[in-house]
Structure 1
Amino acid sequence: MRRKTNPKFWLYGMLATTGLILGTPLWAQYPWPVAPFDQSHEITGTFCEYRDTGSSPHFHNGVDIPKPDGSPVYAVVDGRVTSMSATGSNAYVRVENFAYVHIAPAPGLSIGDSVFAQQTILGTILPGMGHVHFVDGYVSSERQPLRQNGGLTPYEDPWPPQISNLRFFLGPTGQPFTNNQLSGPVDITFRVREANGPPTTRESRLNNGAYIVGYQILSPDRQQVVFSPSANGVQFKFDTKPSNSFVHNVFDPAQSSTSSHVYRVTDKVTRRIFWDTGQLPEGRYTVMVFAGDTRDNFDTLYVDVSVSRRDLLPPAQPVLLATLMNAGPEFSWKAGNEPDLAGFRLYSSPDNAAWSLFRDETTLPGGITHYAPALTLPAPTYFYLTAIDSTQPPNESQHSDVYGMAPDSHAKKLLIVDGFDRTQSSGSWHQPWHWFAFTHGEAIAANGFGFSTCANDAVISGDIDLLDYDAVFWLLGDESTADETFSSIEQARV
C-alpha cells in the first residue's frame, strides 16, 4: 500500500542546510541561466541521478534545464570566465564555480573576460542538445543547485516523486526473493521517478532522480520502528556529489539507466551493506521505503514481509537451451550448482496461457541437463523449466524463457533461434524471462510447418548446427555492449 506523505516525524531537523562549501554560502541564491530569469523552469535531469553515458557510469553533477536549441544562456552571477571549450557536444563556459555545458561559447568571449548576471550571453544551446547542463561548484565539489533557500531561485515543484519496482535480493548473491519471504542479509532496491510537472507533461520531466532516499523496518501494525539504518532512516541525501567510484553503491547497475534510477537503499554511499534480518525474531514485518525531493514532497511505500531462519532462497533460474523436434521431443538446459538442488520441473502449454506440469524432479533430478522422452507431440507445444531445491516445502526458481516445438508434415526442419538477451538497464524488456519464440512458433505452425527452438548460446557453443535445418528464424533483441545483438561469432555461424 502506498501513501503520499510529508513524513516530518522521521525527517525532523534533517532538511536544515547551513554552512559553507569552498567559501560560498550554501544558502546563496541566484537567478536562472535562461530567460525568464525570475520564473521557475522545468528540470529534465536532477542532481546526482544516475548516468550511464560517457566512459563509465557516474552521478549527474548538475541539473538539466530544457530550452530549444540556439537559446541564449546567461551568467547567473557576476564574475570572470575561468575556462571554456568549443569542442564537441560537451562544449562549455565556466564562470568561476559555475559551469554551463552543451553550449556554443559566444563569439568574442575569452578566458578572463568579466561577465554580468542576467546580462552577458555566455553562449547558445548546441544543436540537438535541447538543454543547458548547469553545474554549481568546481569538479569534485559540486553541490545541489535546487537546494532550499538557495541555488536556482525561484524554483517551484509541488509534484511528489513516485516509488515503484520494489525488490528484495539475497545480499551478496543477488538472488531475488519471492513472495516477500526473506532471510539472511537482504538487499532492497526500488525505482524513483521524481516529477517536475503534472502527469500530462513530457516523460523527460517525470523520470528524474531523488534528493532523499531511505527505509525503515516497522512492526506489522506499522506503529513501531523495529530497525532503522540511521536515526531517521535516511540513507542518501544529495547536497553535494559523492565520488563517482561510489555510484554503484547508490544505484543498482543491473536495473539503472539514464532514464531509470533504481536505488540500493540498504547501502551507504561509501560501502555496500545489507539489512541483516538475522537481528530480528522470525515473524512478520513491514518494510517502509521513502523518497523525497528538495521541496519536501515525498512518496512512501509499505510492503509486508515475513522473516524466517529457514532457507527461503530458490535455486538459480535455469536456462532452457533447446526444445527440439527430432524423432521425438528433446530438451536441453543448463542450471546452477547449488548443493541443495533437487531437480527440475518442466511445464507445458498448447497456447502459452494454460500451463500444466509436464515432468517433475522425480523424472528430472539435479545433475541432468538433457531429456528425451519416448513420446510424440501431435500439435505445437510450448515449455518452460524451473529448478527445485530439497527444502521442505521446496523453493522453486523463476522459470526459463518459453520455447516450443511442433511436428512437421512436409519433412522440413525449421529452427527458431532466440537471440534476445538484454533484459536490464534501458532495454525495452525487463522481465527475467520472455515468450517471444512463442509468437514466431505460432506463425510458423499456422502455415503448416513444424519447428524447433534453441537459444543463441546453443548455436555459439556448436551444440546446434544450423546446417541441419532447412530454414532458420533468428529472433533478435535490443542492442547493448553487454548483451550484443547478433555478434560476430553468431554471424560466422550463419
Structure 2
Amino acid sequence: GVAIDPAGVIYITDAGGAALRVCRFNNSPDSTVGGTVTTLAGGSSAGLVDGSLERALLNRPAGVAVARDGMIVVADTGNKLVRAVVGENRQQGAPLTSEAITMLRSTAEQMRRAGEPRWPYDPPVRPREIAATFGEIRGLLSSDPAESMGPWFHNGLDVPGGYGETVRLLRAERILRPLSVTSVDTARERIRFPLLGYAHLRVGRHADDREFSDERFIIGRDAAGRVARVRVRRGARFAAGDAIGTLNNQNHVHLIAGPAGAEMNALAALELPNVKDTVAPTIELNGVRLFDREWKEFQSIASTVTAVAERGPKTGPVAVQSDVRIVVQAYDQMDGNAIRRRLGLYRLGYQILNLDGTPVPQFAEPLMTISFENLPDDSAAVPLVYAEGSQAGYTEKTVFAYIITNTVRDREIREDFWRASTLPPGEYIVRVFAEDFFGNRTTRDVTVQVTASANSAGATS
C-alpha cells in the first residue's frame, strides 16, 4: 500500500519486510541526495507487538492511509488487525495487552483439531524420521564476531525424504499472499500458506524442473529456460494431500506451523500418524555447569571426594554464592533416529533440594523455565536461551547448551538467576530437568556448597 500526507511524505507498506517505510524527497537545489527511505515501524521480524516505533512489530502489512488528523492507519493483514501510528500523548485506539494478543492467535490445539492426520509424503500414515525440532539454535553462538554464524531459532520441524520426493499439503488451505513462493531456484525455496509453510522444495515442479500439470502454479523462466519465478494465484484453494512440490537437494521438508511471526511447535500443532518417541533426553557428561553473573564458572571444592552410584568418584560440591546461572548441555533423540542425530529439547528447568531430597521453600515444585510451545517475539533472544558455543545446522557438530535460569516461555523471555544467597550457607542439591515433547524426562543432580562470603574462592576466572 502507498499513502501520501499533505507535506508530500510517502508511506509504503513492505509486506515481505514486515515494515512501514517512509520516503522523503529533498527538493533543495544544492543537495546531491534526491531523498531518503527510512523505516518507521517494524522491519526486524514479523510479529505482533504494540508500543514505541522502535519496538513495534508488524506481519505482512498491506494497505496504508493517512487520516486528516495525521494519524497513519495500517492494515496489518498477517495479524488480522488495523493498526494506528499515533503521537505518544494521543489517546486513540487501545494498545494490545499480552492477554489480548494470546486471544487473537490460533493455538496449537486448535490447529491440530482442524487438520487431517497425515505426513507430508505418501503414504500419508507411514511414519518418517524427524531430523530437527522447533526452537533449536541454528548457526554458531560465539563472542568472537569472526566465528559467530547468525545465530537464529529453527522455527519448524524437519522431515527427511528422498531427493525429488513429492511433498503434499497437510491440511486444506487457500493462498492469501500475493507472493507466496519465495527464494525461487535456491535451496531455501518455499511456499507459505496462512497457517503452514513448506521449505526446501521445487514448488510446482518435478525433480527435473518440469512443471506440474496444475494451472494453480505459474512458472516463469529466463531466456536460458531456467526457473526465475513461481507464482500461485491469490485465492487458489488446495486440499490436504495435494502435491505442492518436490524435495530439492536438502532432502527434507521444513514444516512451519502457525502464521508468520506467530509460529508454534509443529509437534503440537500437527497430527502426524504413528509418530513415536520412547527415548529419554541425554544430559551430556559434565553437562551441568554453574556460572556467576559475569560468566565466571564456579568450581568444585577439590579437597572433597565423594562416591556416586554407578558413576564412580568425582570431586566435591561446587562452591556458589550470590546470583547463579545454570547451563545444561543436553540433546534428544526419537525412535528411528540415526545414532548421530541430535535434536533439541522441549522443556527444561531446575529445582533446589536439601541433601535429604526435600525441596527448599522457594522450590516446592520444579521451576520449568524453558518451554518451546512457541518462540519469543524478540528475534534477538537466542543468546538468552543458548550459552556460548551452542551450534547446529550449518556447523560441524551439534551443541545445545541451555541457560535454564533464564525464562523462555509463552513468547516471553527474560534474564534471571538462581539467588543462592537467599539460602543459609551449607550444602544443597541442584536438580536439573530435561524433557522432550512426548514427556520423556532425564534429571541430573549437582551438589553445591552455598557460601556467604563475597571473598569465597568458589568463583574463578
TM range (shorter): 0.5 to 0.7
Residue identity in the other structure for 1:220 = L
Deviation at 1:55, TM superposition (A): 6.8
Equivalence for 1:203: 340
How far apart in 2 are the matches of 1:315 and 1:177? 6
Is the counterpart of residue 235 in structure 1 residue 372 in structure 2? no
Residue identity in the other structure for 2:325 = D
Instruction: Work out whether residues 186 and 274 of structure 1, in 8 Å CA contact, stay in contact via their aligned partners in 2.
Output: yes
Is the counterpart of residue 280 in structure 1 residue 414 in structure 2? no
Instruction: Work out whether residues 190 and 200 of structure 2, in 8 Å CA contact, stay in contact via their aligned partners in 1.
Output: yes
Is the counterpart of residue 254 in structure 1 residue 407 in structure 2? no
Residue identity in the other structure for 1:306 = Q
Deviation at 1:26, TM superposition (A): 4.4
Equivalence for 1:47: 134
Which has the greater radius of gyration? Answer: 1
User: What do the CA deviations read for 1:220-271 (whole angstroms, capped 9, x no partner)?
Assistant: 121334443x964110111112233212111113344442111000011222
What is the aligned-residue RMSD (CA, Å)? 2.5
Aligned to 1:297, which of 440, 444, 458?
Answer: 440
Specify whether residues 237 and 20 from structure 1 end up closer, same or farther in structure 2 by C-alpha distance, changes over 3 A only.
farther
Q: Matches of residues 45-444 of structure 1 in structure 2 within 5 Å? A: 45-52=132-139, 56-81=150-175, 82=177, 83-85=180-182, 86-106=184-204, 107-108=211-212, 109=217, 110-112=231-233, 113-118=236-241, 120-127=242-249, 129-147=250-268, 150-164=270-284, 165-179=286-300, 180-197=318-335, 201-204=338-341, 207-228=342-363, 232-243=366-377, 244-258=379-393, 259-269=398-408, 270-310=413-453, 311-313=456-458, 315-316=460-461
Specify whether residues 41 and 19 from structure 1 end up closer, same or farther in structure 2 by C-alpha distance, changes over 3 A only.
farther
Instruction: Work out whether residues 170 and 184 of structure 1, in 8 Å CA contact, stay in contact via their aligned partners in 2.
Output: no
Question: What percentage of residue pairs aligned between the two structures are identical?
Answer: 26
How far apart in 2 are the matches of 1:216 and 1:176? 20
Instruction: Work out whether residues 63 and 135 of structure 1, in 8 Å CA contact, stay in contact via their aligned partners in 2.
Output: yes
Aligned to 1:22, which of 93, 101, 106?
Answer: 106
Aligned length: 292
How far apart in 2 are the matches of 1:285 and 1:214? 17
How far apart in 2 are the matches of 1:153 and 1:140? 27
Instruction: Work out whether residues 198 and 255 of structure 2, in 8 Å CA contact, stay in contact via their aligned partners in 1.
Output: yes
Residue identity in the other structure for 1:89 = A
How far apart in 1 are the matches of 2:253 and 2:103? 28
Specify whether residues 255 and 227 from structure 1 end up closer, same or farther in structure 2 by C-alpha distance, changes over 3 A only.
farther
User: What do the CA deviations read for 1:344-396 (whole angstroms, capped 9, x no partner)?
Assistant: xxxxxxxxxxxxxxxxxxxxxxxxxxxxxxxxxxxxxxxxxxxxxxxxxxxxx
Deviation at 1:19, TM superposition (A): 8.1
SS at match of 1:172: coil
Specify whether residues 225 and 72 from structure 1 end up closer, same or farther in structure 2 by C-alpha distance, changes over 3 A only.
farther
Specify whether residues 27 and 105 from structure 1 end up closer, same or farther in structure 2 by C-alpha distance, changes over 3 A only.
closer
How far apart in 1 are the matches of 2:173 and 2:376? 27
SS at match of 2:150: coil
How far apart in 2 are the matches of 1:309 and 1:98? 53
Residue identity in the other structure for 1:36 = P
How far apart in 1 are the matches of 2:133 and 2:239? 26
User: What do the CA deviations read for 1:144-201 (whole angstroms, capped 9, x no partner)?
Assistant: 11128x54344211111111243434332111111122122111101121111368x3
SS at match of 1:196: coil
Q: Given the two structures, how large is their TM-score scaled by the length of structure 1?
A: 0.55
Q: Which runs of 5+ in 1 are unaligned?
A: 1-17, 317-494
Specify whether residues 245 and 116 from structure 1 end up closer, same or farther in structure 2 by C-alpha distance, changes over 3 A only.
same
Instruction: Work out whether residues 167 and 176 of structure 1, in 8 Å CA contact, stay in contact via their aligned partners in 2.
Output: no
SS at match of 2:262: coil
Residue identity in the other structure for 1:176 = E
SS at match of 1:175: coil
Bigger RCO (CA 8 Å, 6+ sep): 2
How far apart in 1 are the matches of 2:293 and 2:327? 14
Residue identity in the other structure for 2:238 = V
SS at match of 1:248: helix
Instruction: Work out whether residues 166 and 188 of structure 1, in 8 Å CA contact, stay in contact via their aligned partners in 2.
Output: no
Residue identity in the other structure for 1:123 = G
How far apart in 2 are the matches of 1:241 and 1:126? 27
